[in-house]
């Protein structure tokens, strides 16, 4: 698969088949993705990959934590800035509405929408979950570089027929996960990622989100 195809076919998969994803495939994906660039080559990332009993332990932990505190532990790193402004606000709203339309869940059905969101904390049934760890002392540049690494993983997976969904939702149990993995004070989990094989019959996996056109975000000067 060429890079253009991988970029265009990768989507956020939200229903996975139960088929296992062997460790050697996960290792191979990480082995390719580690060639992602980072400023000064500081490689500001660590990955915790979970499968089997460890995956289940993390899922159980999230259920318990969120049952006691449904809003979660967003802390000082909220998923979105407060009062998101245009055009980002509308883009965010539209992808959500498009997704719930495919799931057949109307806006009034808060319980069903909440139920779908809760599936994040089961990795959407994917057999493997990744957690991305960054040192709290890293600055905005290193956070951007971590993002490049994550996209590299998603593309390397896509090239192998492995579907993914990045999951900032796991930030809602950040402190609980940090304790579970015995992370030092200096480290934090930024984001999760579900990895596995897509259930291509699931309607929600046909969601193809919009993008602004090049002319909406790029300015060309001096050509």
Residues binding ligand FMN (CB under 6 A): 11-12, 14, 95, 120, 165-169, 191, 209
Give me the least distance between CB of 26 and ligand FMN, in Å please: 19
Q: Are 19 and 197 in contact (CB under 8 A)?
A: yes
Please report how close the Cβ of residue 221 comes to ligand FMN at its closest, in angstroms. 29
**Number of residue whose CB is nearest ligand FMN:** 169
Query: Residue 100 CB, nearest distance to ligand FMN (Å)?
Result: 11
Q: Tell me if 128 sits within 8 A of 15, measured CB to CB.
A: no
C-beta of 21 vs 191, nearer to ligand FMN = 191
Written as six digits, the tokens of 16 are: 């996975």
Q: Would you say 81 or 184 has its CB closer to ligand FMN?
A: 81
Tell me whether residue 26 or residue 193 sits nearer to ligand FMN (CB atom): 193
CB 38, CB 96: distance < 8 Å: no
Nearer Cβ to ligand FMN (120/152): 120
């Amino acid at each position: 698969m060429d890079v253009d195809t991988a970029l265009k076919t990768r989507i956020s998969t939200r229903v996975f088949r139960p088929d296992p994803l062997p460790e050697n495939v996960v290792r191979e994906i990480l082995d390719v993705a580690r060639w992602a660039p980072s400023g000064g080559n500081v490689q500001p990332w660590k990955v915790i990959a979970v499968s089997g009993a460890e995956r289940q332990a993390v899922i159980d932990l999230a259920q318990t934590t969120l049952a006691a505190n449904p809003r979660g532990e967003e802390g000082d790193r909220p998923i979105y800035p407060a009062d998101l402004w245009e055009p980002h606000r509308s883009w965010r709203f539209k992808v959500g509405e498009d997704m719930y339309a495919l799931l057949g869940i109307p806006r009034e059905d808060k319980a069903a929408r909440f139920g779908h969101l809760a599936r994040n904390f089961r990795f959407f049934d994917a057999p493997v979950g990744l957690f991305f760890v960054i040192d709290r002392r890293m600055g905005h540049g290193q956070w951007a570089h971590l993002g490049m690494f994550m996209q590299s993983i998603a593309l390397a997976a896509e090239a192998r027929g492995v579907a993914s969904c990045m999951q900032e939702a796991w930030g809602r149990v950040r402190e609980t996960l940090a304790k579970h993995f015995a992370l030092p004070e200096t480290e934090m989990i930024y984001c999760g990622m579900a990895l596995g094989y897509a259930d291509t019959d699931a309607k929600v996996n046909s969601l193809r989100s919009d993008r602004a056109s090049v002319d909406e975000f790029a300015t060309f000067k001096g050509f």
